[in-house]
Structure 1
């Protein structure tokens, strides 16, 4: 009963913080950390400690899975080089530098113990994504930060595991590298397989509620086998989420996707808020352990300050040349853009046939199938160049990316996995907590102010509106292409249901089909004829919606439109299809 009361009060606290935080103009996770810290020192609140495995194996996989499902896969592909650099190279460099620093500052810790603490302090937290989204920055910054938070946890945990092993026995650099490669590859393979299986199975389940229940098991079906085989369960959950998000439009019907999205939002809110509240509640016990061991709280504060300043400086030193490199790549892309445009024109002129060209004095022929693949690659490359040119990352965006690299709950949970015989274990855990807490409160609390100060590129409402208008015109053409001209020869407009619930009178039918339909309906009584006509026209509208959805998926593959614009268009089609199906159910009942 006591646990039940605590759970209910916790959920009410989460709901209250989510409502109050916007009025106080601070992120809800930061408010929950502060509330947890205050409660932890209340005399009537007992010392609280959560098994770190609950966080690493029970909470993080579904959180990362949910975030990766909603991650635009095209944007993730475009930014993968940047994301992988931040989540792998920067984490490794930070862990090694911090390892040597802490092994010098903390007597008896050793290089292996120092690198273990460095690995604990290196990964960033996904809460930064929530804050920057509200600050109205470019979607490209959001993609980079979100992608980094999806992958850097796995890098840090593999490094931590290797460092702990090195403290007990000799471990070679190649051994650590081999463990990392194996952890990523086996996790990616399992995550990909589970993602595909998830889509295939759920496409056959008609009940939306049951479908969502199955989706709740997917991150664990991916992470648990990966961990059992020595891989990264977090990477497996992320890959399963990316595969699911990429294929959900094709395999799952609109009702199932909307049900998934709504239910997973609730799960995200509860899990994310719980870990930040728990993080604050654990402070009292952590401080008590340090005082009991005689390590000194102020010593931990000093070490944490050094660690936080160091990781922030290392991040700035890494991001600065990264931004410069992205700028050079953008200029190279702009130089080859005219060549790609000419090649695209030749490929389009060739159509579905073969293309002959001369190279090195020899005549060569490209088959129609190969031509189609080449056309797709050129289109994607050209669209990528346009994407980087429209949304460049400069020093302003680099400043936001640097300051948004705050630490969070993974840092604390990873610190609590240190073996009991680790030198100065309680001190290291408190250092990790102070770094995470100070990072969240200082960087997270001032990030909106930093965004206003440096003024990075923000979404352009006029550009977004123009892009949506262009896409609407293309969808209208798809609707007209799936029908026939009207009798007066004018193009057939997009079908729309009339206010009374019947299908619009402008449904695209050619002359013969319309006459046959009239003869069929004339043989029926008026009520039956009206019902049959509505069913026919709605069925036709569903076919048009299917064609429009397939067209949007093809555009997503090309990368021609922004992910936000395509998502909005897909949501509009989903809403219309659900409305049609609800009318059918109402008439059938």
Structure 2
């Protein structure tokens, strides 16, 4: 198994390199070739424990995505993120569950809901990591990234409840809403604690290699600590990632080790490598299951073609569910925006507005910051995506390794010792949905984004404007100084950026980008050994 695993990872990287040279999507090419390779006579089955996939593969991918995602963008789009990450997962589970129980009554209602929970969560981490290359707008990428950070926890909770209903086992907390609340709350607290503890330890080390090693352990520490308390390891990993990323703007940079900039540069190069290896392995693992899924289906008493037909129907259902939910949310957001605009128009008194202007104030409630928002917040603002952006969000519903891992984690037997009803059917349908969405939606998403020709010039201009403001803050901090080779020179700039972020004078994302520029400049003028 160890040699086979090594060969699979090596082969996946070779295929990814080939796809990159040809300008092809590495994931699509890897899945397709791996599926063909699975039919080689005598090829042994690569079958991993689902707990190994959930505990080893998923945490670093989620953690890396969180480190590169702005917590403030997460809060700004929280309504849309929770709608997709929780609301859509529940909606898809309910619709697909009842549909499956009607088409395949032999599964039973509980078994149908097991299948529905398995196929409900999209796996968008890989897609959004290449979002700018594909042509996705930044706002769309933010929403999809946030969705990918929370939807797995909701789906796995529903999966655990549905499996318990079939097997007759009792969950830690029987009420599914209270169960999810426990998992989310405890996972959140543990993740923050793990992240803050590691941040505190790293601040005292002063060795980039050791600090990076500690950072690599964070997703695993958070995940398994939460799982031991029957909480959500997924949420714990996300919370830990945000705790680590926010630490750069939560404390004064001068309190960090003098080598902190080297640690950041080292990790900026490290995490993309980790992502590449894990993503390549995931796609190869998915493709290599094809022959064995078909063999399992043939050896069971389940009619092959009817199961494949069920898989195609469920595939269509999950796609349509996402479209229905996204456009329902779009209509609701448009209505909210209309109501808000009418209320604002009705509440504005021209005479009162003139009086406020005469006093030199922005109106009731406080100052207007340099970000152009009262107190740095979007008070009452309702974010509404354009129709083209909604179409992109609707089409990015690819399923992935979470779906396969959950399907593989279905018990063999129920409490009475009888076989789990429809286990082979569920696993086959899950495979069809995962690979089908990847090949159908994943392969056409770049073309769709290119065809829609969404104008991102306003977004690009806003980003450049934010970076210019951050560069001005950094430059003002060292105005008049003529020693750009000292550590203090660069620390002053980073400290000024931190202060500006906390005062809501510059965007956190812009400050992070400029801080990376400062780190690179310091690395270029500072000897490796001080």
Could you say what secondary structure the match of 2:478 adopts?
A: helix
Question: Which stretch of the first structure deviates more once superposed, 573-582 or 413-422?
Answer: 573-582
Q: For residue 577 of structure 1, report the CA deviation from its aligned partner.
A: 3.0
Aligned with 1:258 (options 255, 260, 265): 265
Aligned with 2:303 (options 285, 296, 315): 296
Aligned to 1:578: 523
Q: Distance in 2 between matches of 1:477 and 1:450?
A: 44
Q: Distance in 1 between matches of 2:431 and 2:103?
A: 18
Q: How does 1:277-288 map to 2 (within 5 A)?
A: 277-288=284-295
Distance 1:347 1:11, change over 3 A: farther
Q: How does 1:428-577 map to 2 (within 5 A)?
A: 428-460=426-458, 461-480=460-479, 492=480, 495=481, 503=483, 538=486, 540-554=488-502, 557=504, 560-561=506-507, 563=509, 565-577=510-522
Q: Distance in 2 between matches of 1:247 and 1:407?
A: 33
Aligned to 2:63: 65
Aligned with 2:10 (options 6, 9, 12): 12
CA contact (8 A) 2:66 2:149 kept: yes
Residues 185-211 of structure 1 deviation map (CA, whole Å, 9 limit, x = unaligned): 111111111111111111111111111
Q: Distance in 2 between matches of 1:214 and 1:346?
A: 56
Residues 206-240 of structure 1 deviation map (CA, whole Å, 9 limit, x = unaligned): 11111111112111211112112111111111111
Distance 1:582 1:343, change over 3 A: farther
2:406 paired with 1:410? no
Q: Distance in 1 between matches of 2:261 and 2:354?
A: 39
Q: For residue 569 of structure 1, report the CA deviation from its aligned partner.
A: 0.9
Q: TM-score, normalised by structure 2?
A: 0.86
Q: Distance in 2 between matches of 1:449 and 1:377?
A: 36
Q: How does 1:272-421 map to 2 (within 5 A)?
A: 272-329=279-336, 332=340, 378-382=374-378, 385=381, 388=383, 393-420=385-412, 421=419
Q: Distance in 1 between matches of 2:47 and 2:359?
A: 63
Q: Distance in 1 between matches of 2:443 and 2:32?
A: 12
Q: Distance in 1 between matches of 2:301 and 2:28?
A: 30
Runs of 5+ consecutive residues of structure 2 not aligned to the other structure: 413-418
Q: Distance in 1 between matches of 2:368 and 2:70?
A: 24
Question: Which stretch of the first structure deviates more once superposed, 248-257 or 71-80?
Answer: 248-257
2:229 paired with 1:229? yes
Distance 1:209 1:282, change over 3 A: same
CA contact (8 A) 1:26 1:445 kept: no
Q: Distance in 2 between matches of 1:546 and 1:344?
A: 37
Q: How does 1:74-93 map to 2 (within 5 A)?
A: 74-93=72-91
- Which one has a bigger Cα radius of gyration? 1
CA contact (8 A) 1:545 1:577 kept: no
CA contact (8 A) 2:222 2:236 kept: yes
Aligned to 2:118: 120
Please, what is the CA RMSD of the aligned residues? Answer: 3.4
Question: Which stretch of the first structure deviates more once superposed, 43-52 or 245-254?
Answer: 245-254
Aligned to 2:132: 133
Q: For residue 63 of structure 1, report the CA deviation from its aligned partner.
A: 1.2
Distance 1:418 1:9, change over 3 A: closer
Q: Distance in 2 between matches of 1:419 and 1:348?
A: 68
Runs of 5+ consecutive residues of structure 1 not aligned to the other structure: 351-356, 360-365, 481-491, 497-502, 505-533
Q: Distance in 2 between matches of 1:456 and 1:105?
A: 40
Q: Distance in 1 between matches of 2:43 and 2:356?
A: 68
CA contact (8 A) 1:61 1:219 kept: yes
Q: Distance in 2 between matches of 1:64 and 1:343?
A: 51
Aligned residues: 508
Distance 1:242 1:562, change over 3 A: closer
Q: Distance in 2 between matches of 1:200 and 1:371?
A: 34
Q: For residue 383 of structure 1, report the CA deviation from its aligned partner.
A: 8.6
